[in-house]
Amino acid sequence: MLRLGKREFGPHEPVIMAIVNRTPDSFYDQGATFRDEPALARVEQAVADGAAIIDIGGVKAGPGEEVTAAEEARRTVGFVAEVRRRFPDVIISVDTWRHEVGEAVCEAGADLLNDAWGGVDPRLAEVAARYRVGLVCTHAGGTQPRTRPHRVEYDDVMADVLRVTVGLAERAVALGVPRESVMIDPGHDFGKNTRHSLEATRRLGEMVATGWPVLVSLSNKDFVGETLDKPVKERVVGTLATTAVSAWLGAQVYRVHEVAETRQVVEMVGAIAGWHGPAVARRGLA
């Protein structure tokens, strides 16, 4: 059972996490939701399309202009409070690696801290424990925040992913984070080249076998672009193909830009796998 905010999810119940960037320079939408009203409209549409989680980020993952903790908090804290007011039942996640920002957004009503940089600030898990909120434990290969990997090598990339993410998850629970609110994430593209990310996808079942709910953040990433030789705006099909494979292998949470399309993919996979039936059944019954 995965428990986040006011919601509980069964083992084969897919969970869609919609990305809402409060940044002027995000790689995919180039700041489309930097201002409040477009961002709130994005939240409303994502919820209508089936997102259970809204993931709010105040700093883009890649290199760029420095964003201080104070500026990151300015971009996210008030917005978290407003989303909490308008959408009381939605699960609010904040994508941050900084404990100071984590503290502030939890005070504002966040239910989940999405630590995409692999515990680089160990105090973030302490914040999650203190507020009894969820935590995403990600493999980033030891990469520092907002840097790109350079000639990174692993003897066995999945062995390293398992060592790091399970270790972070166990530490979080030992600190007091509710076990049912901890997820692990292989960290596609983070501290990895394209071949590493493809292998992590191919072997995702090994993460699922640990018993921790697995989150995948695949949406329009570079490993999809390099595999298909496609620019950012032409990666949706490759993303959805990777999503289908991840769903078949047992991933549960999907951090995405395209909510409605992802929802259809994971529901179709679930029906084929026999985890649930079709939404309607009329054919051959008339």
Mean per-residue pLDDT for 189-199? 98
Q: Report the length, in residues, of the chain.
A: 286
Catalytic residue numbers, as ranges: 221, 255
For residue 286, what pLDDT is reported? 72
Would you say 94 and 102 are in contact if contact means Cβ atoms under 8 Å apart? yes
Helix axis angle, 259-273 to 236-249, nearest 10°:
30
pLDDT in tens, 14-41: 999 999 999 998 877 778 898 999 999 9
Q: How many CA atoms lie within 13 A of 94 on its CB side?
A: 35
Output the pTM of the full model.
0.96
Mean per-residue pLDDT for 243-258? 98
The angle at the Cα of 126, spanning 252 to 122, to the nearest 5 degrees, equals 85
Instruction: Locate 245 and state its tokens.
Output: 């494979």
pLDDT in tens, 88-145: 999 999 999 999 999 999 999 999 999 999 999 999 999 999 999 999 999 999 999 9
